[in-house]
Chains A and B, each alone.
Chain A
């Protein structure tokens, strides 16, 4: 299994929108809607912000949205705020033959300028 590919860093100004991509293969992102996104502040556990590609947990800001096209999932954060500056990870269910697993992206550091 290979890690999902995320940009190492993205940046944007307050109020702007940014998108973080998460590229996999037809064995993971491309074939299953079990893609989730996590926000992780330093020293804290990952916080679920998107599940099943585009669903938002209760209490998560509507500024966070998810989508998928082919083998690439995307997280969009609109109306950037200073508190959004941290690390983001994607995760997908993967299956190759009879071997099922979960695979993570390498993480993206978001900087709010």
Chain B
């Protein structure tokens, strides 16, 4: 059973950069696409972007200029960096393996506040 677990700071200051890591267990990160998704409080789900284990990426055009997604196959992890944060980036961030049979992490709340 594939399991995903997000980790990172729960509070980040405006204008700073958010860094989150997703650790995959119960399966190898190879041969799949791995995504980040977020959900602002009281709102819907938004796909942020994905990375293939080989390193190729794609991001939501609305966030593309601020997003970097990377992968570390040796650690079975992939990461998200989101720059120039504002209060609008406050959300629960999920990592997931979308696809034929989706797997999601439990999510981590990130609050952007000074």
> Interface residues of B: mostly helix, strand, loop or mixed?
loop
Which of B45, B99, B102, B106 has the most chain A CB atoms closer than 10 A to its own CB?
A: B45
Contact between chains at B35 and A48 (CB < 8 Å): no
> Interface residues of A: mostly helix, strand, loop or mixed?
strand
Q: Which of A1, A45, A51 contacts B94 (CB 8 A)?
A: A45
B14 on the interface (CB 8 Å rule)? no
Would you give the shortest CB distance from A76 to chain B, in whole angstroms? Answer: 20
Q: How many residues of A contact B (CB 8 A)?
A: 23
Contact flags (1/0) for B79-94 with A, using CB distance below 8 Å? 0000000000000001
Q: Which of A46, A52, A107 contacts B104 (CB 8 A)?
A: A46
Contacts of B35 in A (CB 8 A): 102
Which B residues are within 8 Å of any A CB, using their own CB? 35, 37, 44-47, 50, 58, 60-61, 94, 98-102, 104-107
Which A residues are within 8 Å of any B CB, using their own CB? 1, 3, 34, 36, 38, 45-46, 48, 51-52, 57, 89, 91, 93, 99-107
Given contacts A93-B99, A101-B50, 15 further A-B pairs with CB under 8 A are A1-B60, A34-B98, A34-B99, A45-B94, A45-B107, A46-B45, A46-B94, A51-B102, A89-B45, A99-B58, A101-B58, A102-B37, A104-B45, A106-B44, A107-B45
